[in-house]
């Protein structure tokens, strides 16, 4: 080989060893963060679903009461609904 051919070659250095402690610590923190975020999201979604179910149940109850009052006392539906709701303690407006 000539000197000019050797001058264009690069020397490959071995990769430096990385210590495990900073990397291990950051992975542990990342894992805990993922668990916390997942738990908070699951709690928020569950809370929203419970709120939605309660709201939906109240709406169905109010519609059922209104339908029954419409059949029984069509001239005073609102008064009938208020009386039944107060007696049952079901739906709040």
For the residues 69-92, what does the mean pLDDT come to?
A: 84
pTM for the structure as a whole: 0.54
Alpha-carbon gap, residue 26 to 35, rounded angstroms: 14
Full residue range of the structural domain in which residue 65 is found: 21-88
Of the pLDDT bands very low, low, confident and very high (cuts 50, 70, 90), residue 25 is low
pLDDT at 15 over 90: no
> Which comes out higher in pLDDT, residue 50 or 83?
50
* Residue 1 lies inside a defined structural domain of this protein: no
In a domain, 12, yes or no: no
State the Cα–Cα distance between residues 42 and 11, nearest whole angstrom. 53
Q: Is the residue at 60 inside a domain?
A: yes
Q: Give the count of domains, the chain.
A: 1
Q: Is the pLDDT of residue 73 over 80?
A: yes
């Amino acid at each position: 080989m000539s000197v000019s051919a050797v001058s264009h070659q690069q020397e490959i250095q071995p990769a430096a060893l990385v210590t495990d402690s900073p990397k291990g610590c950051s992975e542990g923190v990342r894992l805990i963060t993922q668990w916390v975020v997942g738990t908070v999201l699951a709690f928020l979604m569950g809370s929203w679903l419970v709120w939605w179910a309660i709201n939906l149940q109240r709406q169905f109850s109010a519609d059922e009461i209104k339908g029954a009052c419409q059949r029984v006392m069509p001239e005073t539906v609102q008064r009938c609904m208020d009386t039944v709701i107060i007696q049952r303690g079901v739906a709040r407006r």
